[in-house]
Structure 1
Amino acid sequence: MGACLGRLGWTPEAFWKATPREVAAALAGLGMRPGPGAGRLARPELAALMRRFPDEVGTEGGTGDDRTR
């Protein structure tokens, strides 16, 4: 995120609208490569994240997006 906002001059909105593939391509253009451990999550790690951050809509009719709270 820092490289996209700082070195590339993206706005936060542009960063959050970009796909992971677009971010990776932009970083590759800067000569940056993913570090060790980067890549896909194993299923148990994904399941743990899904339990911790469910995509359920609350009873108040919200979107489930914590960034607006």
Structure 2
Amino acid sequence: MSGARIDWPGLVRAGLHRLGLAPGAFWALTPVELKIMLGADQAAAPLTRARLAELAAAFPDAMKGADDGGTGKPDRAAGDAGGAAGGLGPDGDGL
């Protein structure tokens, strides 16, 4: 046992009041079932194209100017080889 204390009063309140379970139904649940019913086991939503576009707009790639030794193209992270596996077309731009 990890030594973590279980908040029984909080769990009973959540089951009986928040979920509206009868006491017998609450005590018949397994901890995993209660966790799922309370929504604690929900995974994060997958990243969609729209969300990726929002993030790209909010955090654009840094552009290096000629005085920085750059080419005016987005500065790639060190070790990023690009290419087809990196999601880039043959000219180095996005597909």
Instruction: Flag whether TM exceeds 0.5 (same fold).
Output: no
TM-score per shorter chain, which class?
Answer: 0.3 to 0.5
Which structure: larger Rg? Answer: 2
Q: TM-score, normalised by structure 2?
A: 0.29
**Bigger helix share:** 1
Q: TM-score, normalised by structure 1?
A: 0.39
